[in-house]
Structure 1
Amino acid sequence: MTAAQEISTPAPEPVLRKDRVDYAPTARSVSLSRHRTARLVLQWGRPGMAGDAALLVSELATNALLHGAVRGRLLRVDLTLTASALRVAVSDPRGERLPRLREPGSGDCYGRGLLIVAQLADRWGVEPRTVGKSVFAELSVR
């Protein structure tokens, strides 16, 4: 392949802010991660995104707790701000249990978390890890 034929990939976007915290797989951790996310996004100068980011973390952390937790293993919450997006990712040790959208029945108390994430986020998905998976949601910086 000659130099003229090489395909260039764009450089990754620089990270402006980053936060990573590991939490015990407990209901209290969902609340702690939600409050931390709102506070950090406010401190990072994005007050209009703080509520949505906190809701995304809450839904993803709840799903990780209910469907991905393993006794003795931590859940990880990553927040990353670039010039174009705020990315929220929650990692758990259960890589074989992939999230999926579903339509809950009208009487169901659970099952709406990923529907909320899909409606709120500009992009969401799942990434495999060496152990487990990360479920992420991104909000575009407007």
Structure 2
Amino acid sequence: MNEPTRSDVRNYPPRQDSVPAARRRAAWLAVAWGLPQLASDAALLTSELTTNALLHGSLRDRYLRVEVQLTGAVLRIAVTDPKGERHPEPRAAADDEQYGRGLHIVGAVAQRWGAAQRTVGKTVWAELGVGGPR
């Protein structure tokens, strides 16, 4: 990956109020960086990735890290959590289940997404093309 032209990193406590805070930050950054057409998709991806990190990867007193980077024609959102035991996998959710659709949403909105193991924890990322959604 090329060197980012714009980059923002924020750490959020493992609490529910971190999800809307991260979502608002990502949308604001997209607009501030001249990409208002990507603000809603960036907010949605950030919300889904941060929610997954909170539900499946958080530990008490260990922050979640949200990075938003603009590199060339790609806006990348990456969320790092302290638990690397479980690799994120989309699953089939029953119609009456409240959870289980987040990675399907990420896959539908992002041009690409994936996960990377870290020494401690994992990073799940999603990318949007600057030209707009796919």
Q: What TM-score, normalized by structure 1, do the two folds share?
A: 0.90
Counterpart-to-counterpart distance in 1, 2:117 and 2:93: 26
Q: Does 1:79 align with 2:68?
A: yes
Task: Please name the residue that 2:3 is paired with.
Answer: 14
Task: Please name the residue that 1:127 is paired with.
Answer: 116
Task: Please name the residue that 1:137 is paired with.
Answer: 126
* Pairwise CA distance, 1:98: 1.4
SS at 1:134 equivalent: strand
SS at 1:119 equivalent: helix
Identical columns (%): 52
Rg comparison, structure with higher value: 1
Identify the match of residue 80 of structure 2 among 75, 91, 94: 91
* Pairwise CA distance, 1:87: 0.3
Task: Please name the residue that 1:114 is paired with.
Answer: 103
Task: Please name the residue that 1:60 is paired with.
Answer: 49
Task: Please name the residue that 1:103 is paired with.
Answer: 92
Counterpart-to-counterpart distance in 1, 2:58 and 2:71: 29
SS at 1:27 equivalent: coil
Unmatched segments (≥5 aa) in structure 1: 1-11
Q: Which runs of 4+ in 1 moved over 2 A?
A: none
SS at 2:21 equivalent: helix
SS at 2:17 equivalent: helix
Equivalent pairs counted in the alignment come to: 131
SS at 1:25 equivalent: coil
Counterpart-to-counterpart distance in 2, 1:40 and 1:123: 20
Counterpart-to-counterpart distance in 1, 2:69 and 2:3: 10
* Pairwise CA distance, 1:103: 1.1
CA RMSD of the aligned region, Å?
0.8
